[in-house]
Structure 1
Amino acid sequence: MGDRSFRQRLQICWLKCDNASISRTRCRRAFTVLELITVIAILTVLLALLLPSLGSARESARRIQCQYQLRQLGTALQGYHELNRSLPPGFQWEETEQSAYGWSVPLLSFLEQRAVYDQIHSERLLTDPVP
């Protein structure tokens, strides 16, 4: 039976199943353990080939997001410079109000973060508790 091709074996099985005395469930061909192991091995190899490409795609997406955010920050700096004829100070200290904030606060309105900018209270003292 080793010389017979798969097609011949399948035809013989169907011929046997056509016989009314043999039930069809006995003639159904199931997967052998060797076939299952082969399929699992092939899927494992394909998965091993696919995982590095997914990692590189994820890294590429992070890089694109970082470039976009840097571009937005550059655009905000340019907008601030055009409006004020200078770049934002690195640190602002207002002695009369005893408050301070960094260079990013003046850029918030240029970064479409006006709601966040409005929540910053420069009139509060640094030692005041957070509300």
Structure 2
Amino acid sequence: MTNLPNPTIQLIEENPEVKSFIYQQIAEFDGFVTPETEVTVVARNPKKLALQYEAEGKEFNRRDLSKLYRIAIVLSDGEAKVEAEGVHEDIYLAIKLAKDNLMLKLVEIQDSVISHQDRLVEINHYLQHPSIH
């Protein structure tokens, strides 16, 4: 049996439209990344979703899993790493879902950091300007 490459990887590597679409999607991360951030697009085996779907109680057909594209986008910067997946029958929608899911995570992280910084500023303000009762 020959060792066939992952058809999704082959599609990404050989199809300029898919490559271009990926670059368009990851460009939306510009406000969340540094020049040192590595962006990786990973084609994962959709058949490996069977265990996850079983655990979640989702109904699925094992044969239909092979028709899906499972794309992950991973951002890494030093020790920090965040990633999200998209799964769909259309590779473009799988890529967009991965990007949208990652954007949701990044906004959530940004909101928690900003909220934490706002609290620290407020605490420091009250420590520097104690009110007299």
TM-score of the two chains, using structure 1 as the length reference: 0.32
Instruction: Give the structure-2-normalised TM-score.
Output: 0.32
Q: Which has the larger radius of gyration?
A: 1
Select the structure with the greater relative contact order (CA < 8 A; seq sep ≥ 6): 2
